Structure 1
């Protein structure tokens, strides 16, 4: 039987913890939520030396065990609950080589819980540029642990982490500091009342408003015995603990961690002065947005054309290969048309996620959050609201979940209520098809009209969000305002592996999430569009044939025949057989136009046609016909369905209006 180890991956935000997680687990991971709350839970499996298997849990980023948010509470609760199935056999604390001092605060707190703890120092490839040298053996000795120096960007040091995890039983569980020194009298009294409990765990229980097993049964006792101190007094003791730990950390780093400022190279300060400038910062961000939306159109046109051609070819192949009948029509006109109507937009959606991932990986997104804090404040929001709003361009559901980090209830509620105004990826296909139909392909100052229109639609969503926030800010009265602190990570070249993983996962999530609904609705629409109960539906062919004989083709069919004949005449040299060829082509086009009119007439008198005609009076004032009305109704299930509904309806009807 394979031995399995529970591993908790812990670290400050922006230390590369998730990159370490991705390299350890590869694609053997899944994402869910912690029971009863909306905090994301990422876990995966990693194979270690000697046939050992590790179950790795990527915990939310936290600066210390003195929690200030729901995410951080998840970390503390797991580390104190030995009955939890995910309770770690070993804790892996990921740190950033440039911010080792701050990261070690969390490391010492976790080690004082007497959990086997090893330290990972990430971004080692930046050490030469920053003039950093580390005496690893001395640091290991002083911290009483094992250390892995890694670079996820260069894919170095991951095997070392695996070896240390496999040998976790050899890690020391002795605490780094004596917790009672924080407040000797207070801790002595605490230990006397609860002699069998770990002193530092008791301290964490007292200072936080959450229940932790196995101590939760004694929670009331502990609180009643030691909650005589006010919250401000407990905060003072927490600050005293922090100072105490930093004194310990400073003493170690003075010996083992050196920075040669003269050797350090970097332009971060210069870039920050420009990118966060109160005028140029916004102009640069605006130019970046323009570039993104222009690229979404220019770069995605080729793969979109390719996908369109492949689906059309597949549909024709199925019609020509399989025997005629309902099953063939279902696949060719129902399923393929419906799915193709959404798959064709994958390139544009993937490019959107690509640019967002590049901005996040490079460190620029934190600067955007800082910039937008100035804009958000007058509307009752803060920079913390920017992350959910930006996440809303992918999907509103995880964006709303991201508001959990906003401490102020008013700002959190306002952010939740206005986030759906942001243009999410589900709306993107709808916008794209409408823009393609309405906006010409011309350019203004080198920028396409269609790209500018798409950007304008995104801006309209953002403006609607902040105006709604302003109105809600007037309604919801609260005096206290939250403060906003954001860490500015170092600029770095995006890691291709992380960017690719993000794009693939988010695009896959979009396609699979929408695909299930689209497939079901496409089949239903095909059935409703291919069947009818009226005599007009049954006699569609004879009725249309008689109408054409008496009245001629419809204006749309006339235009279809004329356009194709003009193309034939323009591209065919005048030869002896020209007139004969012209007659043959005319006959073929007339037959095709007739088939289109029959299909359109049959669709209009099918089940879906009758339903559409019934609701047409409601949508007609908006300039919509019954087909658009049906698409609007089906889009209540999911916004992505709007496009696939139109694709299925027009495919079943083989509508001459397409031409």
Structure 2
């Protein structure tokens, strides 16, 4: 069993919605990092916890799962790790989190862990809710019958966390002295013995009986088994006529028969004739009409908040970058390095990082929905509608998450067991406007609707942005309906979902989520933007030999003819040089293709560069207009774009029509290489990413063309 330099490895396991994230945050604090489990794109949260003695241990937060018989990819990750003791993530011990208000439903996986001979600490969480609901638990009795150490916690307030750390420390110390091999719960029942299981133990050298049973059931999908091992197990199972499904059912029923009486005797609940608070709320929030209206009202308020609350910090960030640019330009010696930093790096970064407040607010609202338990209701409420479009109620989680980022949203579809519904969800999720489009929308919507415009008390720009999001939703549902008719499958569709009780949000969890998401945006987008800004600056600052001199001479001649002042002359020279630069040449090549949409060659450059990441559009514009202007470093990218005119028609480049066309293009277009990579990985084929890119481009081009001619 492998351990890390940090010490022992402890797994955090449990069903969904039991408070695992709160326990994880309490144990690890800020000592966290997010990666992926080996071979898959499933998120792996790890953190360091310091025990009372000062010992450091690694905590691995596994995806929520109901049992070791997975119905989704997230659950399969848990099985893959625990079925292979040589796996690099295999734990030395397990902290198993269960909700005291639903304890019976949460013990199935616990008993399976016991039969794998894993040392377990059972955390009975949410004891505050137990007190409110008149629930008492006989901990000594439960501890004796289940054969595990038990700690009661209220993770939201931090109650019991010190006791949990002490219990983990004691358990690890016991492991250092002796290794128990009798930690079984029900696998010793004669009715669950099987010839295949015994032969697999003997032939593969598996000591644990229950692990051999899991191998017999899952051997075709266990990545650690070699081809020869798979063939061997297959022969054993066929020879023994191993009844996989019947065996799973018998095992599950045997476990419930064992622990149901234990829970019944251990938990006493005072009779309450009144309807619970959660049930009363559900009568309103899950009502087909009223509940749907409340959900859309919530989304409306969220978009208003994004524009109202974020405006002040955005102004400060924008002013800060403008001042930093002027200071840097005046401090550094004139030359190549000065131009690279001010016109390349600072212009590109400033154009994107200014939108951090809006992204933080978006994740703040999504986290609140998760924390209070409302997300599960939204899934339930939407299931009937989603089924009509070939989707699943769980698709709502992906579609809502797509409002933050398409990549984790597509990864979240692993919770959808039906292959067709999962594939359709993957194919349409990028149509949901993600947070990376917020910078683009915010910049361009100002050319369509004035910032001071209001409808009653509501900001008109916020209403337009919500309209763009709703347009993406309509496009996603319409595309899903078409794909439903095209993709065929024999699988039946169903939704199995546990409704957690409503809770006051745990603000520390929300802060962690917002911090991690903003950090990821700033670092990942920042890295891309730095590279692209440098490349664009170079392409915009250099051109074929002699072209710059020729462009300067033409600009001076035009300036003299039109009697331009010194500042206007310098602007004209910079603009003409940009037009003959390598960036200008690239833009000119694609300009005929995009001219019917009202786009010029500068926009063409941004469309190409933003394929790396949508938010790069703003950074690209900031870089282009910084290189293509002179003496106006304090002006924002919006101000510079607003001044740009078409030299042929004399009309503004960013007219209402062209800006609306560009907005529509970004609503529909697939412009994120990382998303395509994830789609390829999740579907295990290049077929679906290619189909996805093509149909979204057709939607984008057609929609932009219609918008340009209407507006």
| TM-score band, normalised by shorter chain | 0.7 to 0.9
* Correspondence for 2:417 among 407, 416, 428: 407
- The offset of 1:491, in angstroms, is 0.9
Does the alignment pair 1:183 with 2:191? yes
Unpaired segments ≥5 residues, structure 2? 631-639, 644-711
The one-character-per-residue Cα deviations of 1:512-532 (angstroms, maximum 9, x if unpaired) are 222112111212222232334
Alignment match, 1:92: 95
The alignment partner of 2:151 has SS state of: strand
Question: Post-superposition shift, 1:383?
Answer: 0.9
Q: Which residue of 2 aligns with 1:632?
A: 607
Distance 2:254 2:612 in 1: 56
Match of 1:440 among 446, 450, 462: 450
In structure 2, how many angstroms separate the alpha carbons of the residues matched to 1:393 and 1:122? 31
Q: How far apart, in 2, do the equivalents of 1:626 and 1:212 lie?
A: 50
Listed one character per residue, the Cα deviations across residues 17-64 of structure 1 (whole Å, up to 9, x for unaligned) are 122122222233332222333332222222223342212221221112
Instruction: Name the counterpart of 1:651.
Output: 626
Matching residue of 1:570: none
In structure 1, C-alpha distance between the alignment counterparts of 2:282 and 2:200, rounded to whole Å: 53
Q: Which stretch has the larger CA shift, 306-315 or 510-519?
A: 510-519
- Say if 2:130 is the partner of 1:127: yes
3-state secondary structure, aligned to 1:93: strand
Equivalent residue for 2:530, pick from 509, 514, 519: 519
Aligned counterpart, 1:153: 156
The answer on 1:458 being equivalent to 2:469 is yes
How far is the alpha carbon of 1:263 from its aligned partner?
A: 9.5
Residues 206 and 227 in structure 1, CA contact (< 8 A), matched pair in contact too: no
TM-score (norm 1): 0.88
| CA deviation vs aligned residue, 1:320-339 (integer Å, no higher than 9, x gap) | 22222221122111111111
Name the counterpart of 1:107: 110
Q: Could you say which residue in structure 1 is the equivalent of 2:408? A: 398
Q: What secondary structure is seen at the aligned counterpart in 2 of 1:328?
A: helix
Deviates more, 1:471-480 or 1:643-652: 471-480
- The secondary structure found in structure 1 opposite 2:8 is strand
1:130, 1:261 within 8 Å by CA — same for their partners in 2? no
Does the CA-based 8 Å contact 2:419-2:491 persist in structure 1?
no
In the other structure, the counterpart of 1:609 is 584
Contact 1:83 1:214 in 2 (8 A): no
- Within 1, Cα distance between the matches of 2:423 and 2:101? 36
> 5 Å matches for 1:370-381?
370-381=380-391
Unaligned runs of 5+ in 1: 554-589
Root mean square deviation, CA, Å: 2.7
Partner SS state of residue 407, structure 1: coil
Task: Tell me by how many angstroms 1:457 deviates.
Answer: 1.0
Name the counterpart of 2:703: none
Matched position secondary structure for 1:10: strand
Q: Alpha-carbon deviations, 1:254-282, whole Å to 9, x = none?
A: 33221223398841111111111111111
Instruction: Please name the residue that 2:320 is paired with.
Output: 310
- Alpha-carbon separation, structure 2, partners of 1:136 and 1:641: 56
Q: 1:327 aligns with which of 337, 340, 343?
A: 337
Distance 1:644 1:413 in 2: 33
| Aligned residue number for residue 345 of structure 1 | 355
CA distance in 1 between partners of 2:244 and 2:641 (Å): 73
Q: How does 1:114-513 map to 2 (within 5 A)?
A: 114-168=117-171, 169-170=173-174, 174-175=182-183, 177-181=185-189, 183=191, 186-187=193-194, 191=198, 194=201, 197-209=207-219, 210-211=221-222, 220-227=231-238, 234-262=244-272, 266-441=276-451, 442-513=453-524
Question: Quick one: structure 1 residues 646 and 194, their matched pair in 2 at CA, closer, same or farther if it must change by over 3 Å?
Answer: closer
1:87 Cα deviation after fit: 2.2
CA distance in 1, matches of 2:355, 2:14: 37
Higher mean alpha-carbon deviation, 203-212 vs 35-44, is at: 203-212
CA distance in 2, matches of 1:349, 1:182: 57
Q: Is the 8 A contact 2:295 2:378 kept in 1?
A: yes
| Alignment partner of 1:74 is 2:77 | yes
What corresponds to 2:20 in structure 1? 17
Give the number of the structure whose alpha-carbon radius of gyration is greater. Answer: 1
Q: Are 2:66 and 1:55 equivalent residues in the alignment? A: no
- Which moved further from structure 2: 592-601 or 3-12? 592-601
SS at match of 1:57: strand
Partner of residue 708, structure 2 = none
Residues 443-495 of structure 1: CA distance to partner in whole angstroms, max 9, x if unpaired?
22322221111111111111111111111111122343221111111111211
SS at match of 2:47: strand
C-alpha deviation, 1:136, in angstroms = 1.9
More divergent stretch after superposition (609-618 vs 149-158): 609-618
Q: CA deviation at 1:252?
A: 2.1
Aligned to 1:567: none
Partner of 1:56, secondary structure, is: strand
Deviates more, 1:359-368 or 1:82-91: 82-91
Aligned residues: 621
1:593 aligns with 2:603: no
